[in-house]
Amino acid sequence: MKLYRFLTGPDDSSFCHKVTAALNKGWELHGSPTYAFNATTGEMQCGQAVIKTVHGKDYDPDMKLGEQ
């Protein structure tokens, strides 16, 4: 099965750590990162799509993708 996640967070080191953790769990970057201004917080937000192929399991909408 192929999985997709879209990671988001503030434009700071915590976002980089979130993406790094996903990469170290076997996820791969998919496309370019995105940036947007959050008018409520006054901060820039980052986003990055990641994908992962998992063999021997079937997709279930209730699964926690970050635990795969």
**Phi, psi (degrees; rounded to nearest 5) at 22:** -65, -45
Q: How far apart are CA 38 and CA 67, in angstroms?
A: 28
Asked whether residue 66 carries a pLDDT value surpassing 90, the answer given is: no
Q: How far apart are CA 48 and CA 64, in angstroms?
A: 18
| Residue 67: predicted pLDDT | 84
Alpha-carbon dihedral sign for residues 29, 31, 37, 40: negative
Asked whether residue 2 carries a pLDDT value surpassing 90, the answer given is: yes
| CA-based max dimension of the chain | 44
Domain edges within the chain: 2-56
| Residue 13: predicted pLDDT | 95
Please check whether residue 52 is in contact with residue 67, taking contact to mean a CB–CB distance below 8 angstroms: no
| Residue 9: predicted pLDDT | 94
Mean pLDDT of 42-55: 96
Percent of the chain past pLDDT 90, that is, above it, reads 87
